[in-house]
Amino acid sequence: MSPTHDVIVIGLGGMGSAAAHHLSARGARVLGLEKFGPVHDRGSSHGGSRITRQSYFEDPAYVPLLLRAYELYEDLERATGRDIALLCGGVMVGRPDSWTVSGSLRSARAWDLPHEMLDAREIRRRFPTLAPADDEVALYEARAGLLRPENTVAAHLQLATRQGADLHFEEPVTRWEPYRDGVRVHTADHTYTAGQLVICPGAWAPRLLTDLAVPFTVERQVMYWFRPRNGVHPFLPDRQPIYVWEDATGVQVYGFPAIDGPGGGAKVAFFRKGRPTTPETIDRTVHDDEVTAMADHMSTRIPDLPGTFLKAATCMYTTTADEHFVIARHPAHPGSVTVACGFSGHGFKFVPVVGEILADLALTGTTAHPIGLFDPTRLTAAPTGGAHA
């Protein structure tokens, strides 16, 4: 059986759709396989908005990738005419020694990123919706803002299709395996072969990447939308920044301006306060006590925000032990398989540059982008090969 495709991409959410675009843009014959329909809400790339920022408190090593991602998001908007990014500014709020503030400042200084440090009085003056405590400060970044995840995935799928990629939806992969000089991928009704395989499994990583031997934790997360008590106008994007806010106990929340106009609301969520789950058993119902806990937490920080509860939605984080990504050639199959997973709740802002990296790795075996931090062998000894359910 001779391969009919150069590269098979498993998963067409954020990372997989970007990989399909970048691979097909370079002339590769691409087959994309997706368990659900296009731009679905069953995984991690939905919810209307995702934060983007460059003063990255997680680690300064991410900053070069963010700078490239910003360029690629602009390219994506120009190529498709879709609204992708809205740079409304952002504040990282907390005590001066908090991870959110000190880590953001570390990255800003390391990469000479434009930023301002604001004390509590200046935060209140600049952004009257916010009510920080007297001992809290903020790093303000004018180039921070939000991304529209559904538009981003749709744009990458649009370009991939235009460039000749063969994208199959509602066709879940049952297993994959090494085959001759490449790979063989099985779905319920078909078997495909290719020289290269790119796996972007999201929360399905524990099932599709068993021999990677990385211990992933899948977490149920909840996003909430409230109509502010005194109306949305103070929360519109020309007045309200995005924010990540860490309290004295280390709990972080993040939120957005009201991007759906006067009739909409503002979105907020806890960061890393989820429950372990699986894609098959996740509770999609958001319960009253969860809404109350979110409203109570925000009531002293943004007093007008928890006015009227509008809706909530669940999504999933797939988290590694150190909360850094996994992007690499598969250690057991370095000649034919590339993986991108474990984005640990902070990956979406990197979508287009991850697509570029995956195209590099699949087509050339290497990339000029700095991805040493994302080597899976940091988390486990190199696994042995085998079949994959």
35 is in an annotated binding site: yes
16 is in an annotated binding site: yes
259 is in an annotated binding site: no
333 is in an annotated binding site: no
355 is in an annotated binding site: no
162 is in an annotated binding site: no
7 is in an annotated binding site: yes
6 is in an annotated binding site: yes
123 is in an annotated binding site: no
21 is in an annotated binding site: yes
235 is in an annotated binding site: no
32 is in an annotated binding site: yes
182 is in an annotated binding site: no
247 is in an annotated binding site: no
24 is in an annotated binding site: yes
17 is in an annotated binding site: yes
104 is in an annotated binding site: no
76 is in an annotated binding site: no
25 is in an annotated binding site: yes
91 is in an annotated binding site: no
119 is in an annotated binding site: no
31 is in an annotated binding site: yes
14 is in an annotated binding site: yes
Three-state SS letters, the chain: CCCCEEEEEECCCHHHHHHHHHHHHCCCCEEEECCCCCCCCCCCCCCCCEEECCCCCCCHHHHHHHHHHHHHHHHHHHHHCCCCEECCCEEEEECCCCHHHHHHHHHHHHCCCCCEEECHHHHHHHCCCCCCCCCCEEEEECCCEEECHHHHHHHHHHHHHHCCCEEECCCCEEEEEEECCEEEEEECCCEEEEEEEEECCHHHHHHHCHHHCCCCEEEEEEEEEEECCCCCHHHCCCCCCEEEEECCCCCEEEECCCCCCCCCCEEEEEECCCEECCCCCCCCCCCHHHHHHHHHHHHCCCCCCCCEEEEEEEEEEEECCCCCCEEEECCCCCCCEEEEECCCCCCHHHHHHHHHHHHHHHHHCCCCCCCHHHCHHHCCCCCCCCCEC
Q: Which residues are annotated as a binding site for FAD?
A: 6-36
Q: Which residues are annotated as a binding site?
A: 6-36
